[in-house]
Structure 1
C-alpha cells in the first residue's frame, strides 16, 4: 500500500478501535461520553492499513501469550516436585502477567483484545464492526497456533509427554464440571473488561486513576488460580484451540469441546454485562 504512514494517521481517526482496553480508554475529559454504536459492516476498513496493523498486533500478542504461557505450564509439569517449580501460582501469574503486559502494549493499536471471547463480547455490545471482529478472531487463533507450534519446535522431544499445554478436564472432575468452570471463568474475564473500560467510570470515579490492563490481568490471574485444577483454564478460545491443534491428541480434543462451549454459553447472561455500557 502506498503512503502507509498517512494511511495509519487517517485510518486511526476514521476507523479507530471504539473500545480501547488500555490507557486510551480514559480521556482527559471527565464528562461521560458514550461512543456511537459501530456499524455491522464497515467496508472502508478493508482499505485502511491501520485495520491490518491492528490485526497484526493481535496476532503477535496472542503468539507471545501462547509461547510464554505454554512453556510455563510445561516447565511445571516436567518437574517431579512442584515445590521446585513456580507451581500453579506461577502459572497463574504467567497468564495474568502476560495479559497485563500485552494489553498495555497493544491497546493503542488494536484495543488489546488477545482473546476471541473479549472480541465477541465487544462485538455484541456494538463496540466494533463484524468485519473487525472476524478479522481479530482469525488473527488471534493463527497467533495462538503459531505460538504453540514454536514451543513444540523448541521442546519437540518432550512436548507430547508434557502435555503441550493443552487444556484437559483433570481426574476427579466431569466434563460438566469443566463446562461450568469455563462458563464462569470466561464471564468473569469479559465482565472485568467491560467494567474496566466503562466510559462512565472516568466521570464517576475521576479521583481514582484506572489502568485498565491491571484489573484485566488480575482477573485472568484469579480465574486461573480457581480453575487450573479443574480444566487447566481455557477462558480464551484461541489459547485452547492453538494448544489443541499442535498437541493433537484425542483426549485433548474431547475435552476441548467443553472449553469452547464454555466460551459460547458464557454470553447467555450477556444482558447483565451491558449494565455498564448503557
Structure 2
C-alpha cells in the first residue's frame, strides 16, 4: 500500500552489519605515536602549565572533600550517625568521577601519581609532563589536607587526619598486596576507558570515561578501607601524612608509594602487551 512502511525493510536496512565487538575492523584507525620522553618546547607552552594547575586544583579539591568526609565519619558516635564506610567510598569515587570529567580535556584528569606513572610507561605523555603532574598533584594534596586541618584542628589531630596506615590485624605484606591490586584495578580501568582505538570504534566512550573510573575507585575503597584505609594514590597518602605528621603515619608510608606504582606498572604492561598487543605488532 502506498505510503505504508515495509516492516521487512528494517531487517535488511544495514546489509553490512557485524557482530558486536568487531565493528572496529571496518573503520580506519591509526595507532597514535608514542610521546617523546622530553619535549623542550612544551615548557614554553601555556597549555603545559595550565594542565599542571588543573592537576593541582583537582587534587586539592579531591583531598578537601574526601578527608573532610573521613573526619565526619570518625567523629560520629557510631556508623549509623554518619555516612559510614560506604559514604567514604562514595566520596572518593564520586569526586574522581566529577574531577576527571572537569579536567580530562585540560590535563587528562590524572589526579594521581600512579595513574600518571602508568600512562608514562605506556608512552602516553612525556617524562617532563609526568614529573610536573606528580609534583603538582602532591602540592595540591598537601594544600587540600591543610585546609581541612585549618577548619577543625583538634578533631583532625584526634581522628588521625585521614592518613593511610596498615590497620591492626594486617601485615605490611597484606597492605602492599591490597595497594598493588587496588591500583591495578584503577589504572587498568583508566586504560580501558580512554583507549584511543575504542574511542574510534565507539564514539560514546569518551563521554562515559569518567564514570567507570570513578566507579572503580568506589569499589576499591569498599574492599580495602578495612586493610589500609585505601591509598591507591600516593599524592593523597602524602598530603594527609605531611599535614597529620605523626610517627605512625610514616611507619608504613612506603607501602602507599611502592604498592600503587607496582600496580600501575602491571596495569600498563597488561593493557599494552596483552590486551592491545602493541609490542608484537609489525610496523606495517
Task: Say if 1:196 and 1:210, in contact at 8 Å, map to a contact too.
Answer: no
Please provide the CA RMSD for this pair: 1.7
Q: Deviations over 1:86-130 (max 9, x none)?
A: 000000000000000000000111111000011111111001000
Instruction: Point out where structure 1 has 5 or more consecutive residues left out of the alignment.
Output: 1-29
Q: Hey, what's the Cα distance between the residues in 1 that align with 2:240 and 2:121? A: 27
Mark the CA change 1:88 to 1:125 in structure 2 (over 3 Å): closer, same or farther: same
Mark the CA change 1:258 to 1:116 in structure 2 (over 3 Å): closer, same or farther: same
Deviation >6 Å, runs of 4+: none
Using the size of structure 2 for normalisation, the TM-score is: 0.84
Q: Hey, what's the Cα distance between the residues in 2 that align with 1:155 and 1:205? A: 47
How much has 1:210 moved relative to structure 2? 5.1
Among 82, 85, 100, the alignment partner of 1:85 is: 82
The aligned counterpart of 1:272 is 270
How much has 1:176 moved relative to structure 2? 1.0
Q: Hey, what's the Cα distance between the residues in 1 that align with 2:149 and 2:218? A: 25
Task: Say if 2:114 and 2:264, in contact at 8 Å, map to a contact too.
Answer: no
Q: Deviations over 1:30-56 (max 9, x none)?
A: 643422111110010111111100000
How much has 1:273 moved relative to structure 2? 2.4
Q: Hey, what's the Cα distance between the residues in 2 that align with 1:62 and 1:208? A: 24
The more displaced of 156-165 and 215-224 is 156-165
Mark the CA change 1:150 to 1:40 in structure 2 (over 3 Å): closer, same or farther: same
| Structure with greater Cα Rg | 2
The aligned counterpart of 1:195 is 192
The more displaced of 216-225 and 254-263 is 254-263
Task: Say if 1:198 and 1:276, in contact at 8 Å, map to a contact too.
Answer: no
Corresponding residue SS for 2:188:
helix
Mark the CA change 1:38 to 1:212 in structure 2 (over 3 Å): closer, same or farther: same
Mark the CA change 1:31 to 1:89 in structure 2 (over 3 Å): closer, same or farther: farther
Q: Hey, what's the Cα distance between the residues in 1 that align with 2:198 and 2:64? A: 34
The aligned counterpart of 2:221 is 224
Q: Hey, what's the Cα distance between the residues in 2 that align with 1:142 and 1:214? A: 26
Q: Hey, what's the Cα distance between the residues in 1 that align with 2:93 and 2:205? A: 22
The aligned counterpart of 2:18 is none
The aligned counterpart of 1:145 is 142
Instruction: Point out where structure 2 has 5 or more consecutive residues left out of the alignment.
Output: 1-26, 279-284
Do structure 1's residue 53 and structure 2's residue 12 form an aligned pair? no
- 1:156-167 equivalences in 2 (<5 Å): 156-167=153-164
Corresponding residue SS for 1:45:
helix
Q: Deviations over 1:162-185 (max 9, x none)?
A: 110101111111111111100000
Task: Say if 2:234 and 2:257, in contact at 8 Å, map to a contact too.
Answer: yes
The aligned counterpart of 1:172 is 169
Do structure 1's residue 261 and structure 2's residue 258 form an aligned pair? yes
* Count of residues in correspondence between the two structures: 250
Corresponding residue SS for 1:256:
coil
